[in-house]
Amino acid sequence: MENVNMEGSYTAYEIVPLPKEKWQGTLIPMRYTTTEYYDVSVGQKEDGFRVTLEKKTFAEPVSHTPEEYDFPDKLYQEHWEKACAWGVLEGQEMIACIETCPEEWSNRLMVTELWVHEAHRRKGIAHELMAVAKEQARLERRRALILETQSCNVGAIAFYLQEGFTLIGFDSCCYQNGDLDRKEVRLDLGMLYNRRPELKREDIEIRPETEKDYFGTEEMTMRAFWNKHHKGCNEHFLVHKLRTSGDYLPGLSRIAVRDGRVIGGIFYSRAWLKKDDRSMEILTFGPLCVEPAWQGCGVGRLLLEETMALAKQAGYPGIVIFGEPDYYPHRGFVTCDKLGITTAEGKNSDAFMGCELFPGALKAFGGSFYESEIFEQLSPEETEIFSAQFPPLRKQYFPMQW
């Protein structure tokens, strides 16, 4: 079977979610043999401490097996409360797995388990599994991906270094008091996601889209939403269809361009508040999106500021959207219940928000919100066909999806 990996190339392995209900308690046969170890030495001197980790060779190869440990590795151990696991199956048998768990207080994602069956090692499976953990860390905006390994697991350490991890710490008595002498010391490795610096208005071009930008805009939109709310996404197809709709407002919509590449976009369309037999034209936008590598650098804010000023100049009373409840309140939006507005079905939620461009302009009307019919017309089959023209991305389940 041909599958696409997280980096967009084809692979022989399908990575499937391993749901807790089915896989909790599954033993992970964490076997490995090593001829080398990192010798950890800790020395105290008058002016401080000196720690060294030096690679050395064992006199005889050393093997580690799950049987030797009081707490063998298992999937979904109770203390990893928000764990999530993925794996590769051969029939019903698990031949590889990765488990992650967020450490919420520090906003880091931990890889709590990683294992590939001996018969399937050095075929790139761990690399593919790690790509899923990296993608989860990115989607959840974690500041680091971290994990624990042992100083004698030189093969695993080589793998982690290859993946971009570095040493972030160690614990000389995590497993037993004699870990240093036993040459099995807990090492902490991490991959730090440092955001790019904030972009200023003059660092990017913000302008209306031209036909030449269409493909780049759609590809950027696909990458920005991929696996975020559902497996895959349809927002890139929405942008494509929206341009053909009479409700689309190209005069307000803008893209952000840097070094000739589209790195963000915001797409406005006509919407309505309806009350009794009266109707008021307002605005909505969707999607607003930024290329993943440029997220968190202020591109979304710059696009919003510029286009909201345009909308105000044009005299629109306000904007109503369905969007991320954590993002828009910093940009002047409030939940629609505060404006006396409900959805067409009479509902309210944290994601349903509005912003008045003139004080009181939405609240004075209230009513229920209607957007262009184009938002309802995206069939999964058509989306699939449309997506095929872009570099492929793997559809994957992530815990933050709706």
Ligand X SMILES: CC(C)(COP(=O)(O)OP(=O)(O)OC[C@H]1O[C@@H](n2cnc3c(N)ncnc32)[C@H](O)[C@@H]1OP(=O)(O)O)[C@@H](O)C(=O)NCCC(=O)NCCS
Binding site for ligand X (CB under 6 A): 30, 32, 114-116, 121-127, 149, 153, 155-156, 158-159, 162
Sign of the alpha-carbon dihedral angle for 360, 270, 367, 328: negative
Distance (Å) of CA 100 to CA 111, 112, 131, 185: 4, 5, 12, 22
Between 129 and 339, CB nearer to ligand X: 129
Contacts by 268-271, CB closer than 8 A, 24 or more apart: 268/307, 268/311, 269/242, 269/245, 269/371, 269/372, 269/374, 270/372, 271/320, 271/369, 271/370, 271/371, 271/372
Q: Find the shortest distance in angstroms from Cβ 88 to ligand X.
A: 10
Closest residue to ligand X: CB criterion: 155
> Are the beta carbons of 276 and 258 closer than 8 angstroms?
no
Give which of 71, 121, 98 is closest to 15, Cα–Cα. Answer: 98
Between 4 and 30, CB nearer to ligand X: 30
Q: Find the shortest distance in angstroms from Cβ 167 to ligand X.
A: 13
Between 69 and 358, CB nearer to ligand X: 69
Between 153 and 253, CB nearer to ligand X: 153
Between 31 and 231, CB nearer to ligand X: 31
DSSP state letter for 277: T
> Are the beta carbons of 247 and 202 closer than 8 angstroms?
no
> Are the beta carbons of 237 and 377 closer than 8 angstroms?
no
Give which of 323, 320, 315 is closest to 337, Cα–Cα. Answer: 320
Q: Find the shortest distance in angstroms from Cβ 100 to ligand X.
A: 13
Between 136 and 149, CB nearer to ligand X: 149
Rounded Cα gap, residues 49 and 42, in angstroms: 7
Between 123 and 270, CB nearer to ligand X: 123
Q: Find the shortest distance in angstroms from Cβ 264 to ligand X.
A: 33
Give which of 287, 304, 3, 233 is closest to 129, Cα–Cα. Answer: 3
Q: Find the shortest distance in angstroms from Cβ 31 to ligand X.
A: 6
Q: Find the shortest distance in angstroms from Cβ 156 to ligand X.
A: 4
Between 84 and 130, CB nearer to ligand X: 130
Between 137 and 302, CB nearer to ligand X: 137
Q: Find the shortest distance in angstroms from Cβ 179 to ligand X.
A: 15
> Are the beta carbons of 264 and 300 closer than 8 angstroms?
yes
What's the full length of the chain, in residues? Answer: 402
What is the 3 state secondary structure string of 332-372? Answer: CCEEHHHHCEEECCCCCCCCEEEEECCCCCCCCCCEEEEEC
Q: Find the shortest distance in angstroms from Cβ 162 to ligand X.
A: 4
Give which of 24, 125, 109 is closest to 399, Cα–Cα. Answer: 109
Rounded Cα gap, residues 325 and 353, in angstroms: 8
| Structure tokens, 189 | 């490795």
Between 114 and 238, CB nearer to ligand X: 114
Q: Find the shortest distance in angstroms from Cβ 206 to ligand X.
A: 41
> Are the beta carbons of 367 and 348 closer than 8 angstroms?
no
Q: Find the shortest distance in angstroms from Cβ 117 to ligand X.
A: 7
